Structures are given as C-alpha cells and as structure tokens.
Structure 1
C-alpha cells in the first residue's frame, strides 16, 4: 500500500519541478526578448539621427521589423527612405559606443559630412 503512494508522490514532485523549471525558463526568455526589442528601438533612433545628420532630402524613414544581433553585441537596423523601397539603407548600431559603426544609405551625403560623419 505504501509503494503506490510513494510512486505517486514522486511523480507529482517531478511534475511540479518540471512545471516550475519551464515557468522560470519562459520568464527568462521573455526578459531576453524585451531587452532585444529595447536595443532594437535604440538602434532605430540612433540610425534615424545618423541619417538625418549625414544625408540630405530625407523626408521619411521606414524600418524593417527584422533585426540581427551579432556576437559582439551590435544590432543591425535596415529599411528604406522616403517611401521608396528601392532607396534602401542598413546600419550596425554599437550599443557600447552608442554609434553607428558601419552603414549603407542610398541617399546623397551632405557636403560637410563626406570626409567624416557629422555629429548625431
């Protein structure tokens, strides 16, 4: 009679432990995803500042919702300009230095920003 009770109690404890572990894992994944989205929003803001400071005739900046985080912690931001999907841009935002480290923008640079990127 005691053997079935011990087996059921053990199974219940294992099940509860698994449920608790899964809950903890899900919470951690949610925090990681939230941190990534906050970083992506910051990257979009800095990319907007960078484009507006260094390029002329920019009316509207549309961002893609996809992003990648590289192993060094940089995150890419990409999209298109002025509602024209052929006028593409992309850039890598370096969070530790709060700068755009590498970029391509299909627009005309401001003359004062050709040799060295302007402050943004």
Structure 2
C-alpha cells in the first residue's frame, strides 16, 4: 500500500497525471534529498490544493485496488490452483505457473 500510495502521489503531484489537478509539478526540488526521496513541501500549497491532491491520490489507489480485486475475482479458479500447487510443492517454476493459467484458457 505504501508503494502504491507513493506512485499515486508522484502521478498526481509530480508527473501531472491527474485531470483534476492538471499538468503541474508540486515537487519542491530545492529541498534536501533524504534517502533518495524528494521532500515535497506542503507549505507552499493552499489547503484546497492539498485536499485536491490527496483526493486524487485516494481515487487512484482505490481504482487500482478495485481493478486488482476484479482481476483476482475473474481468475479465482487459477488463483486457487496456484495456491494449491504452492501448498503441495512450496516452489513452482514460471513454466508451471503458465501451465496452470493456460488450463483456464483451454476450459
């Protein structure tokens, strides 16, 4: 969840990938870089803009979660087969995964 939130934050606040926020970059690159992450100063943003950014981040993360749940639901049989294979063997190869998933498409 942290990674998804970080990516959504960059999409909205740095990369201009939100229609509502627009093609703007709110990153303050003059701040220090700490452990490879830029510090984004919220002090230069209005409360309204901060709320809009937060709302768009939440929207992106929730949409991604819903899409992931949809994919898992649509492929529940393959998911159960993969889980059972892992319970039996503990480790399975990419080829075995492909074979299990291919069984669904052949049904």
TM superposition score category, shorter chain reference = 0.3 to 0.5
| Greater strand proportion | 1
